[in-house]
Every structure is written in structure tokens, then in C-alpha cells.
Amino acid sequence: MPPAAPRHAPQSPAELARRAEALLPLRPADLHVLLVLSDGPLHSYGISKAADSVAGRVALELGSLYRTLNRLRTEGLIEPVAKIERGPQGQERRTWRLTALGRAVARAEAERLREVVEAARTRKLLRDPMS
């Protein structure tokens, strides 16, 4: 057995794509968090506020949010930023950002969803927005 590669070691795009593919499909909540973080690092409060505003009607309540964050973190899709941000009351806040793998997974999932949408369209489940 070859020694396991370090989790966040730089990886080739092909390798990333292969690993991302293995994690699909994503849960709606996971995709939402990845989407929100694709704009840049954010703390949990920001994530929860932003997730509410993203289309798709996925409510991220307190528990689910942290459960999702924890899961994405253990899968190596997001990571805490080393810098600690302070909240309005001066409390410490962790800021999260996407890893290379996380970005690849978000992209792969978006691709997959686009295929799903295409498939729905060809079956006349969706009206073409252009027509």
C-alpha cells in the first residue's frame, strides 16, 4: 500500500477531479455552504445569512449549519482560516474558506446539476428560459 498523501497537499487537476467525482452527489446543504464560500472566506454567521438569501429554499438552522460545516471540514472541502475575526461583541469567530478540493467538488456538483437540468428540459419538464 502506498503511503497516504497529505490531505491538503497540492494535487493535479486530474487528481482533484477524480476525488471530487467520488464525493458526488452532494447534499443540498453542503452545496449551499460551498456556494456561499465560493465568493470568499466567511464566518459562520455570514454563511447562515448568505445561505438564507441564496435561491433554493434550503434553510440552514443552527445545528444543521454546524453539522454541515463539520462534515465539509472532515471531508477536506473547507478549512478554517488561520486569522481569527472578532464579532460585534468582541467574541472570537472562525472564518471558513474553500479548499482546492472543495472548489472542485462545487464545480463538479454544479456541472452535474446542469446535466440534470438539461435532462429535465429535454423531457419537457422545464420550459426553456429563452423561448
Partner 1 sequence: MSELRPRAPHPDALPRPRPTPLVRLALRLLPQRFRAEYGAEMLELAAERELRAAAGGRKARLAWRARTCFDLIRTALAERLASSFTPTTPPTRSPRPRPRGERSMSTFWHDFRLALRGAWRRPSFSLLVAGTLALGIGTSTAIFTVVHGVLLQPLPFDEPEDLVRVHGRFDPESGFDFPEFPLSVPEYLDYRAAAKAVESVALYRLAGLSLTGLEGGPERVRGAYVTPELQRVLRVEPVLGRGFLPEDGAPEGSDVLWISHRAWQDRFGGGEVLGHRLTVDGRPRTVVGVMPDAFRFPQPDTQLWLPLRIDPANPGSRQSHGFRSIARLEDGVALAAADAEMRQIMAAWQAEYPDIHTGHYLFLRALHEDTVGAARTPLLTLLLASGLVLLIVCANVASIVLAKGEDRGREIGVRAALGASRPRLVQMLLLEGLTLAATGGLLGLGVARLLVRALLALEAGSLPRSTEVTMSPAVLVFALAATAATAILFTLLPAFQATSAPQRKLAEATLRGTASSRRVLFRQGLVAAEVALSFLLVLGAGLLIRSLNELLRVDPGFQTQGILVAGVVPTPTQYPDSEQAMAFWRELLEKVRALPGVERAAVSSYVPMMQGSGVWDFDLEGHQARSDLAFNAVFAAPGEGYFEVLGVPLRSGRVFDGGDRLDAEPVAVVNEEFVRRFLPGVDPLGERIRVATSQDSPLSWARIVGVVGDGRGESLDKEPMPVYYFAHEQTPSTIGGPSRGLAVVMRTTIDPAALVAPLRATLREIDPELPLISPQPMTEVLAESTARQRFTTVVLAVFAAVALLLGASGIYGVLAFAVAQRRREIGIRTALGARPVELLRLVARQGLLPVWIGLLVGGGASFALARLLSGLLYGIEPTDPTTYALVALGVIVVALLACWSPAVRALRLDPTRALRAE
Q: Is 53 in the site for partner 1 (CB under 8 A)?
A: no
Q: Is 75 in the site for partner 1 (CB under 8 A)?
A: yes
Q: Is 66 in the site for partner 1 (CB under 8 A)?
A: yes
> Based on CB atoms, which residue is closest to partner 1, 35 or 69?
69
CB atoms within 10 A of CB 17: 15
Characterize 27-62 residue by residue with b for buried, 16 or more Cβ atoms within 10 angstroms of its Cβ, and e for exposed: eebbbbbbbbbeeebbbbebbbebbeeeeeebebee
Among 22, 55, 125, 130, binds partner 1 (CB under 8 A): 22
Q: Is 25 in the site for partner 1 (CB under 8 A)?
A: no
Among 17, 44, 58, 81, binds partner 1 (CB under 8 A): 44
**How buried is 104 (Cβ within 10 angstroms: 0-12 exposed, 13-18 middle, 19+ buried)?**
buried
Among 93, 97, 107, 112, binds partner 1 (CB under 8 A): 93
DSSP 4-60: PPPTTS---HHHHHHHHHHTPSPPHHHHHHHHHHTTS-EEHHHHHHHHHHSSS----
The count of residues interacting with partner 1 (CB under 8 A) is 27
Q: Is 15 in the site for partner 1 (CB under 8 A)?
A: no
> Based on CB atoms, which residue is closest to partner 1, 66 or 121?
66
What is the nearest approach in angstroms of partner 1 to the Cβ of residue 78?
A: 13
